[in-house]
């Protein structure tokens, strides 16, 4: 598959999708509390998308059943919302969602601490993962490479003693959720695909407090850390412009 370059008009459309994703995520963030189930979060998001008239990007994608992925604690990504999964004080939950508006996708994720009793080491995992995403985004400009982006993410994570998940990567995005190229959260500077003006990519570091290895549970979706350590995930949809990175999901 080839990389699909977007016109400024198409990027404007993707900005709208990105804004709606942001709005949904902020609403869900406010609904995160001890005692809420991950299905409660799903319902908040689904109702908001319906109200706005945005089509959920995840529901039905390869048979995925929900509009959100909600991944708690040692769950890395693709946790399925459930009434049985009730959040507790001190948990962390990754909320990942996407929408389609006028044919164009937006995709973003945040990880949120539940309540006020979050352990300092857990807070550090969240802060470092967000910082690693920001560091990757700072590399984005025409002529930079995906290796520059991945290396920037990886350096921030590993300097703090955490590890980068290899089995899942970011991706091109546009009129499909997943387009070329793949966007790893690791790499070597100067290597890999060169970024060009008009590319739009989702950068989404998944960072484990312990070892990088993950496994997928028998539900066929939920990825967890093999060592049971906590995992965090942040994602933005980012356009490559002559001026550098434009974050479409903020
Ligand atoms: N942000 C994730 C991704 O880009 C979420 C996809 S979940 C799925 O892969 F359900 F849609 F597969
Ligand atoms: Co994504």
The pLDDT tens digits for 166-205 are: 999 999 999 999 999 999 999 999 999 999 999 999 999 9
Which of 25, 57, 58, 97 has most ligand 1 atoms within 8 Å of its beta carbon, as the pocket-test mutant?
A: 58
pTM: 0.98
Phi, psi of 67 (to 5 degrees): -85, -20
**Helix (H/G/I), strand (E/B), else coil: 33:** coil
pLDDT on residue 111: 98
Q: Which residues have C-beta within 8 Å of that of residue 78, sequence separation ≥ 6?
A: 64, 69, 71, 96, 216, 221, 222, 223
- For 59, other C-beta atoms within 10 Å of its C-beta total 16
- For 71, other C-beta atoms within 10 Å of its C-beta total 28
Which residues are close to ligand 2, an ion, with C-beta < 5 A? 107, 202
133 lines ligand 1 (CB under 6 A): no
For 93-124, what is each residue's pLDDT tens digit? 999 999 999 999 999 999 999 999 999 999 99
pLDDT on residue 1: 75
Architecture of the domain spanning 8-247:
Alpha-Beta Complex (3.90)
Cα(99) to ligand 2 centroid in Å equals 11
Query: Residues of the chain with pLDDT > 90: what percent?
Result: 99
Question: Residue 106's beta-bridge partner residues?
Answer: 99
The domain spans of the chain are: 8-247
The conformational region for residue 165 under phi > 0 = left, psi -120 to 50 = alpha, else beta, is beta
């Amino acid at each position: 598959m080839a990389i699909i370059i977007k016109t400024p008009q198409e990027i404007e459309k993707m900005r709208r999708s990105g804004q709606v994703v942001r709005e949904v995520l902020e609403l869900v963030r406010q609904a995160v509390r001890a005692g809420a189930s991950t299905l409660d979060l799903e319902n908040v998001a689904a109702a908001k998308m319906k109200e706005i008239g945005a089509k959920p990007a995840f529901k039905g994608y390869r048979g995925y059943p929900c509009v959100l992925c909600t991944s708690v604690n040692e769950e890395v990504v693709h946790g399925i919302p459930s009434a049985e999964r009730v959040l507790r004080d001190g948990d962390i939950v990754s909320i990942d969602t996407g929408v389609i508006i006028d044919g164009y996708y937006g995709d973003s994720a945040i990880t949120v601490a539940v309540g006020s009793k979050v352990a300092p080491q857990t807070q550090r995992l969240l802060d470092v993962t967000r910082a690693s995403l920001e560091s990757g985004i700072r590399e984005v400009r025409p002529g930079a490479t995906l290796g520059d982006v991945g290396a920037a993410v990886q350096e921030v994570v590993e300097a703090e003693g955490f590890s980068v998940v290899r089995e899942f990567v970011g991706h091109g995005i546009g009129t499909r959720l997943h387009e070329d190229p793949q966007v790893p959260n690791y790499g070597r500077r100067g290597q890999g695909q060169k970024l060009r003006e008009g590319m739009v990519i989702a950068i989404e570091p998944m960072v484990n407090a312990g070892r990088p290895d993950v496994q997928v549970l028998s539900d066929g979706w939920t990825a967890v850390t093999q060592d049971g350590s906590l995992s965090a995930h942040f994602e933005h949809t980012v356009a490559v412009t002559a001026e550098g990175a434009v974050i479409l999901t903020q």
